A and B are shown apart, each in its own frame.
Chain A
């Protein structure tokens, strides 16, 4: 059985940068505990010698010539910004007061 507690869910939500209301946290914690318990069955089947498969295709790194080419204009890049100033994205302060 899984032991995903309410505190665990609150911690993971914080890591994922999602601030949850108390009622949401209560509901999600119960559901996630059940889901984690269910998905744990993946541990029953694959032995150590099975290679993990991250992708359906054999992937090769794809590069392009290092040439200057057209990209979005400043206006286009900023058109969806929640806040902009002097042709730049305006963001809240990064450091808190402590």
Chain B
């Protein structure tokens, strides 16, 4: 088998072949490393590749299997990790010059869980600096390119993870979703991405952006693959005080669902683009087709209004910068991170100012200053305080909606992938890209994006978002799996199989 043949298997198929002994983890890992070596210079999906470490794990797994050891389901299946998760002994930059040389002395809990699941870690994926962005153009180390069209963005902030999965540089990857950074990249790369319920996956060892919004989750090419990785990641962690101590919903069983008879689905008027404004026609056409497919699976569709969702973006862009300004205050150039020393005999304060100016990119500075302003005396009540009240109203909208329906759906993003550079000068235009994904982060409910087809006007992938009540993550997988199967039958295969082969650029 060529590297492409092996890398094109789903994670489920890889796990099955490894368990049956018809494939070794070394072969599988090496196939991915070969493809990374060939394509990563063009895509820039990975910031760091740890071939030696990944192969060492693969060899251990193969030896254990040969010795008859009982192994976890995904043992030997490689995985990529967004560069926001601390990896012991492996550089972790969060896409920032501030942490260019940071080598964590410990693993994030999710990395520990990947190691316990015996999954070879291929490397660290590119991202917008400190996860601030919707396009991966704000990485201090240069943008990632979308495998469907190299001149377009792969979504953000987890564009590296989504591009790696879409381009078969990894079967599975880890993302982090603060306002849509797993779901929106999944939508524009034709992959599957889940933001679990807030607190369902540990954030210990994750470089914090906005602590009340951040959530770690899986990126994959199929719903069943995402479910397997979700199962590995989720579960209580005493090291994270916001970790939920309840059993993980059975997402793997749910990912085998084929019938949705009697399921009640709500279309949220405020984020469905039904008024057409700001939504690309091809996105809306695929959304309508998905609704038809869901009806065909036995679901009942009704329109739901969540009137305060219209204020979600504004609330988010106050809450996120406020929390970010606090979290990023730790980058003071004293204990770790970049230190820039002005000439003469500067004070600690001057060193901090110079280091933070040099170490942070423009988007990060913009949000830190906005957050500092929103939290400052005299403005706190008008901005941050009001935003927290809007958050309550949005949570109430969700509660009311979930009394009427089991899940909610919308397009994941209003447009397909835009061209690199198109929105970098206009932060407001960039922010509006997350209009459909942000409400879930404010309320802490789980969400998933699955591919729903290609837009007629540009042939690029479109995502469908599914939202469920907190701790009902299995509903995402049930709806996602059934719809994925129906669309696969209608379209003659997975959406990702229609991606063009990548042309290597010098």
A: which residues have CB within 8 A of B? 4, 8-9, 12-21, 24, 27-28, 31-32, 34-36, 38-46, 50-57, 59, 61-62, 64, 72, 76-77, 79-83, 89, 91-96
Cross-interface CB contact of B244 among A16, A36, A57, A76, cutoff 8 Å: A57
A24 touches B365 (CB 8 A): yes
Cross-interface CB contact of B370 among A32, A54, A92, A93, cutoff 8 Å: A32
Give the secondary structure class of A's interface: loop
A57 touches B352 (CB 8 A): no
Q: Which of B314, B329, B347, B368 has the most CB of A within 10 A?
A: B314
C-beta contact mask, B354-365 vs A, less than 8 Å → 1, else 0?
A: 101100101001
Known: A42-B383, A94-B347. A19 touches B365 (CB 8 A): no
In the complex, chain B residues whose CB is within 8 Å of the CB of A21: 357
In the complex, chain A residues whose CB is within 8 Å of the CB of B317: 35, 38-39
Lowest 6 CB-CB distances: which A-B pairs, in order? A56-B444, A46-B389, A52-B388, A82-B339, A19-B353, A80-B336
Q: Which of B333-354 contact A (CB under 8 A)?
A: 333-339, 341, 345-354
Closest A residue, CB atoms, query B211: A55
Cross-interface CB contact of B242 among A40, A45, A59, A94, cutoff 8 Å: A59
New A-B pairs, 11, CB < 8 Å, besides A46-B393, A55-B212: A17-B329, A17-B332, A38-B314, A50-B393, A52-B392, A53-B392, A56-B470, A76-B105, A80-B102, A89-B334, A92-B351
Give the secondary structure class of B's interface: helix
Q: How many angstroms from the CA of A83 to the CA of B335 in the assembled complex? A: 8
Distance (whole angstroms) from the CB of B52 to the closest CB of chain A: 21
C-beta contact mask, B295-314 vs A, less than 8 Å → 1, else 0?
A: 00000000000001001001
Distance (whole angstroms) from the CB of A32 to the closest CB of chain B: 6
B362 touches A24 (CB 8 A): yes
Q: How many angstroms from the CA of A62 to the CA of B335 in the assembled complex? A: 27
Q: Which of B403-449 contact A (CB under 8 A)?
A: 427-428, 442-445
In the complex, chain B residues whose CB is within 8 Å of the CB of A20: 357, 365
Q: Which of A21, A55, A76 has the most CB of B within 10 A?
A: A55
Cross-interface CB contact of A31 among B238, B315, B366, B368, cutoff 8 Å: B366
Q: Name 8 A/B residue pairs within 8 A (Cβ), A-sorted.
A: A8-B373, A28-B365, A31-B366, A41-B311, A50-B389, A52-B391, A56-B443, A72-B105
